[in-house]
Chain A
Amino acid sequence: MLARMLLQSWKNGIRRKLLAVITIFLASGLVSALLAVSIDIGDKMAKELKSYGANILVEPAGNAILPEISDSGNNFTSLETQDFIDEKELPNIKDIFWRNNIIGFAPQLTANVKSGDKVVTVTGTFFDHRIAVPDEDDYHTGQKIISPYWKVQGEWVNDETDNLPEIIPALLGEQLARSEKWKIGDRIPLNYKTSETDNSLSVEIKGIISTGGPEEQQILIPLSALQNLVNLPGKVQSVKISALTVPENELSRKARANVDGLDAEEYDRWYCTAYVSSISHQLEEAISGAVVRPIWQVAASEGAVIGKIQLLLTVVTVAALIAAAMGIASLMTTTIIERSKEIGLMKALGAYQWQITLLFYCEAVISGLIGGILGCIAGWGLAKFIGVSLFGAPLDFAWIVVPCVLVLAVLIALIGTWFPAHRIAKLYPVEVLYGR
Chain B
Amino acid sequence: MVANKRKMFWRLVLRALRLRLNRVLIIFAALTVGAAIVTAMSAVYFDINSKMSQELRTFGANFYIGAEDAGLIETKQVNDIINRAPTGLISAGSSYLYGVARADLEKVVIMGVQFDQLKALTPYWQITGSRIEIGFDDRNAMIGKKLAERLNLKVGDKITLTKNSMEKYSLRIKGVVESGDVTDSMLIVNLELAQNWLEKDGLASNALLIVKNDQGQADEFAQLLRQQYPNLDIRPIRKVSASEGQILNKIKGLMGLISAVILVLATLCVNTTLIAIVGERAKEFALQKALGAKRRDIITQIGTETLIIALFAIVTGLIIGYILAQILGLTVFKASIDMRLPVIPLTVTLSLIVAFIAVIVPTKRALNVKTANVLKGE
Residues of chain A having any CB pair with chain B under 8 Å: 15-16, 19-20, 22-23, 26-27, 29-30, 33-34, 37, 41, 45, 48-49, 51-53, 57, 64, 66-73, 75, 147-151, 175, 179, 210-213, 216-217, 256, 293-301, 304-305, 308-309, 311-313, 315-316, 319-320, 323-324, 326-328, 330-331, 333-335, 337-338, 382, 386, 389-391
Q: What's the Cα separation between A343 and B294 when bound, in Å? A: 34
Segment of B85-93, B249-257, B297-305 engaged in the interface with chain A? B249-257
Segment of B3-11, B327-335, B346-354 engaged in the interface with chain A? B327-335
Q: What's the Cα separation between A142 and B59 when bound, in Å? A: 23
| Inter-subunit contact A213/B37 (CB<8 Å) | no
| Inter-subunit contact B100/A66 (CB<8 Å) | yes
Chain B residues within an 8 Å CB radius of A330: 26, 29-30, 33, 273
Contact status of A301 and B236, CB under 8 A, knowing A57-B180, A66-B107, A337-B22: no
Contact status of A296 and B55, CB under 8 A, knowing A22-B272, A71-B205: no
Chain A residues within an 8 Å CB radius of B29: 326, 330
Check B134 for interface membership: any CB of A closer than 8 A: no
Kindly report which residue of chain B lies nearest to residue A291, judged by CB atoms.
Answer: B146
Chain B residues within an 8 Å CB radius of A308: 52, 55, 332-333
Given contacts A51-B247, A175-B68, 20 further A-B contacts (CB under 8 A): A19-B276, A22-B268, A23-B272, A52-B59, A67-B182, A149-B239, A213-B237, A217-B70, A294-B180, A295-B180, A296-B179, A298-B59, A305-B58, A323-B262, A327-B273, A330-B273, A334-B26, A334-B277, A335-B276, A386-B261
| Inter-subunit contact A67/B69 (CB<8 Å) | no
Q: What's the Cα separation between A96 and B296 when bound, in Å? A: 75
| Inter-subunit contact B331/A301 (CB<8 Å) | no
Check B185 for interface membership: any CB of A closer than 8 A: yes
Chain B residues within an 8 Å CB radius of A300: 58, 124, 126
Q: What's the Cα separation between A151 and B68 when bound, in Å? A: 20
Min Cβ gap B238→A in Å is 4
| Inter-subunit contact B268/A26 (CB<8 Å) | yes
Closest 4 CB pairs of A and B: A327-B269, A212-B237, A295-B180, A300-B124
Pairs across A and B, CB under 8 Å, 11 listed: A51-B242, A57-B181, A64-B150, A66-B109, A69-B182, A70-B182, A179-B68, A212-B239, A295-B179, A298-B59, A334-B23
Q: What's the Cα separation between A51 and B247 when bound, in Å? A: 8
Chain A residues within an 8 Å CB radius of B69: 179
Check B152 for interface membership: any CB of A closer than 8 A: no
Q: What's the Cα separation between A233 and B333 when bound, in Å? A: 51
Q: What's the Cα separation between A331 and B26 when bound, in Å? A: 8
Taken residue by residue from 113 to 127, chain B's Cβ proximity to chain A (1 for < 8 Å, 0 otherwise) reads as 000000000111110
| Inter-subunit contact B23/A151 (CB<8 Å) | no
Chain B residues within an 8 Å CB radius of A71: 66-67, 70, 205-206
Q: What's the Cα separation between A34 and B41 when bound, in Å? A: 14
* Secondary structure call for the A interface: helix
Q: What's the Cα separation between A255 and B194 when bound, in Å? A: 35
Kindly report which residue of chain A lies nearest to residue B106, judged by CB atoms.
Answer: A66
| Inter-subunit contact B235/A210 (CB<8 Å) | yes
| Inter-subunit contact A72/B243 (CB<8 Å) | no
Q: What's the Cα separation between A149 and B257 when bound, in Å? A: 26
B23-47 interface with A by 8 A CB criterion: 23, 26, 29-30, 33-34, 36-37, 40-41, 44
Chain A residues within an 8 Å CB radius of B59: 52, 297-298, 301
A27's partner among B34, B124, B269 (CB-CB below 8 A) is B269
Chain B residues within an 8 Å CB radius of A389: 253, 257
Chain A residues within an 8 Å CB radius of B70: 71-73, 217
Max chain A Cβ within 10 angstroms of own Cβ: one of B68, B126, B238: B238
| Inter-subunit contact B251/A309 (CB<8 Å) | yes
| Inter-subunit contact A295/B269 (CB<8 Å) | no
